[in-house]
Amino acid sequence: MLRLPTGSRKGHCLPPDPNRLTRQELGRLGEDLAVRALEESGHEVLARNWRDGRNELDIVARREQTVAFVEVKTRRPGVQPAEEGLTPGQRRRLSAVAGAWIKANPRAGSDFAFDVVTVHIGPSGSAQIRHIPEAFYGDDC
């Protein structure tokens, strides 16, 4: 388990109670923790919050020859499990925006995957992070 910092290096303090974070703050915190976990496991982060129109990829990361399009799902205690937060419609949108990213970055890699990172924020300021490689396939959409 990771322990959340009570203040960041930039001087922004997190409330001691994660329930006081806005949805946007919670999502940003989850993405920051996901990036750290991916980097610690040997991934190179290529992009964050890459947009194509209204659709967005949370993280694009590479490990060896595989480029992973990573969706981050962050949850507070007592909320629907993060693993259940990716609907078929979201999968279709992620697949479409991933196609746009590949078109814009044709030399980035030859193998592609859709990963999910779940971040469960505990009431005591702890976080459980789970990386699910190849959580779904573009043709599952």
Encode pLDDT of 14-55 as tens digits.
455 677 788 898 899 999 999 999 999 999 999 999 999 999
| CATH number of 84's domain | 3.40.1350.10
pLDDT score at 12: 33
Cβ neighbours for 131, distance < 8 A, ≥ 6 positions apart: 34, 37, 38, 41, 115, 116, 117
Tally of domains within the chain:
1
Q: Which domain holds residue 122?
A: 2-140
pLDDT score at 86: 80
What pTM did the predictor assign?
Answer: 0.82
In whole angstroms, what is the distance from residue 117 CA to residue 10 CA? 25
